[in-house]
Amino acid sequence: MLRLPDPSRRHRRREQALMFLLAAPALAVILALVVLPVGWLMGQSFTDGGLTLAHYRRIFGEDIYWRSFAQTFRIAGIVTVLALVLGYPVAYAASQLRRPWNVLILALVVLPFWTSVLVRAYAWLVLLQRTGVVNQALDRLGLVDEPLALIHNELGTIIATVHILLPFMIIPLTATMQNIPTDLLRAGASLGGSPLHLFLRIFLPLSVPGILAGSTLVFVLTLGFYITPELLGGGKVTMVSMLVSRNVELYNQWGAASAVGVVLLVGVLAIFAIVARAIPLDRILGQQ
């Protein structure tokens, strides 16, 4: 919250030029690896030898596409909410505890990052299948008569996806929570606020930037999931990414697949535009 003395206009301009120069290498990488390929993808989606809208007509004309998009966004929504509910307490603990406990928590959160998504999907297969660890335990405890269908459906896909994406929720949340001044909570307590009251009125609102950052990351990453639903969905989950590969196989044209990607990208950007209008995202995120 340090306020710098208002610099002169010339000084400010020089500083901006310097900032731009510092950012230039990163911008160049983004241009080469993101902007150009996405532009190429968009161009492809309008061609199949000649210029055409056929790929888009197909997407908006056939039910399967909109069903897949609906399922993908629904799963992404569920995964985001679950990751927030599970991740918030962990982030809270990581931000409030002292060393070495906070370091230990974050280490445990980050550790699975070093395991491939494929391996983690198979691990869930071993845990959740009919003869898996979870069902055997439930059976021995006499809690179920019949093994539960925890996998080869949407549930299995959601469980594994939440697990894989949880760090993307916890890390931004923790970063935000660590920066919430404890003075505010102490001041609130000295004025007689109960712990619940302090949490709801001070801590939670101040952690909103972290919630938004984490939720955005998790939501967007879920939209692109492929291996997890393919392995754990049992054929009952068709995410948009799976449509992309199906279209390559069926139509033998990159354009047919590119169009699906473009529609997803535009859909996501549209959602952000609407959300940004409802919630002043840049102001909230800017507070950090």
Partner 1 sequence: MANKQLTIFAVVLSALLPSLPASAGEQITFVSQGGAYQKAQTIAILDPTANKLGITINQDSAPDAWPIMRSQVASGKPTWDVVDTPTGNCIRGGEQGLVEKLDFDKLPNAAAMPPEYRNPYSVAYEFYSSVIGYSQKKYPDPASAPQSWKDFWDVKAYPGRRALRNHPFATLEAALMADGVAPDKLYPLDVERALRKLDEIKPHITVWWTSGAQSAQLLNDGEVDMIMAWNGRISALAKEGAKVAYTYNQGILQSTSLCILKGAPNRATALKFLDQAVDPVHQANLPLQIDYGPANPKAFDTNVIPAARVKELPSAPENASRQALMSYAWWSSAEGEAAEKRWLSFMQK
Q: Choose the binding region for partner 1 from 20-28, 86-94, 171-179, 227-235 (rule: CB under 8 A).
A: 227-235
Residues between 26 and 65 with contacts to partner 1, criterion CB under 8 A: 62-64
Least CB distance from residue 125 to partner 1, whole Å?
8
Binding of partner 1 by 238 (CB under 8 A) = yes
Least CB distance from residue 67 to partner 1, whole Å?
5
Q: Which of 234, 267, 272, 284 touches partner 1 by CB under 8 A?
A: 234
3-class SS at 193?
coil
Binding of partner 1 by 252 (CB under 8 A) = yes
Q: Which of 32, 133, 250, 269 touches partner 1 by CB under 8 A?
A: 250
Peptide bond into 167 cis (omega under 30): no
Q: Which of 93, 123, 127, 149 touches partner 1 by CB under 8 A?
A: 149
3-class SS at 4?
coil
Least CB distance from residue 71 to partner 1, whole Å?
8
Q: Which of 83, 84, 173, 231 touches partner 1 by CB under 8 A?
A: 231
Q: For the chain, where are the alpha helices, taking DSSP H only? A: 9-30, 36-45, 54-61, 63-96, 101-110, 117-128, 133-140, 154-178, 182-190, 195-198, 204-206, 208-223, 227-232, 240-251, 254-278, 281-287
In whole angstroms, give the CA distance from residue 46 to residue 66.
20
Instruction: Tell me whether residue 227 or residue 281 sits nearer to partner 1 (CB atom).
Output: 227
Task: Read off the tokens for 148.
Answer: 């539960």
The angle subtended at Cα 78 by Cα 205 and Cα 247, nearest 5°, is 130
Torsion of the alpha carbons at 32, 33, 38 and 41, rounded to the nearest 10: 100
Binding of partner 1 by 74 (CB under 8 A) = no
Contacts with partner 1 by CB under 8 A lie at 62-64, 67-68, 125, 129-131, 149, 152, 230-231, 234-236, 238, 243, 246, 248, 250, 252
